Amino acid sequence: MVGAHLNSWHSATGATDNAEGCSIAMEALRIVIALGVEPRRTIRVALWGGEEQGLLGSQEYVRQHLAGEENREAREIVEAYLQPFNDLGATTATLQGVGSTDHPSLIRAGLPGFQEIHDYTDCDVGTHHTNADTFERVDAEDLKQAAAVMASVLYHASIR
């Protein structure tokens, strides 16, 4: 499964935090469908609310649907799925916290939650939670690349 949080602040639309994450998740699934491949398992996209209020959406999702599915050994598997994309910078599959977002809800449940990480030099760090968090700050090429990497990871996980 893949997830992202819906987020916006009263001064902007939440494009980099986190509409881009939502669009990457949905586009990854669209890619898998467009390829016409047949996953052996269901691939699910979940979009959560309540991230800024204490990860409420992702914690509740984990409680209802994923509790008791510990699988810390999956980190090595996810790293193998990312290996073909290492030259693009897709190298991080960690169970450590890499920021305040929804993947810690999965990690605390013992699941291999990880976050797509990209170059923040001209993106999220300067715009999130500000009135500059608008569509023109989103880099379409970054989103396409992230969606392709995520589609590959999802597909490989679904056929394992």
CB atoms within 10 A of CB 55: 21
pTM: 0.85
* Residue-level pLDDT at 16: 84
From 20, 27, 38, 51, the catalytic residue: 51
* Residue-level pLDDT at 9: 65
More confident position, 6 or 121? 6
Phi-psi region of 112 (alpha: psi -120 to 50; beta: other; left: phi over 0): beta
- Does the annotation count 76 as an active-site position? no
Selected from 2.60.40.10, 3.40.630.10, 3.40.630.30, 3.90.226.10, the CATH number assigned to the domain covering 2-159 reads 3.40.630.10
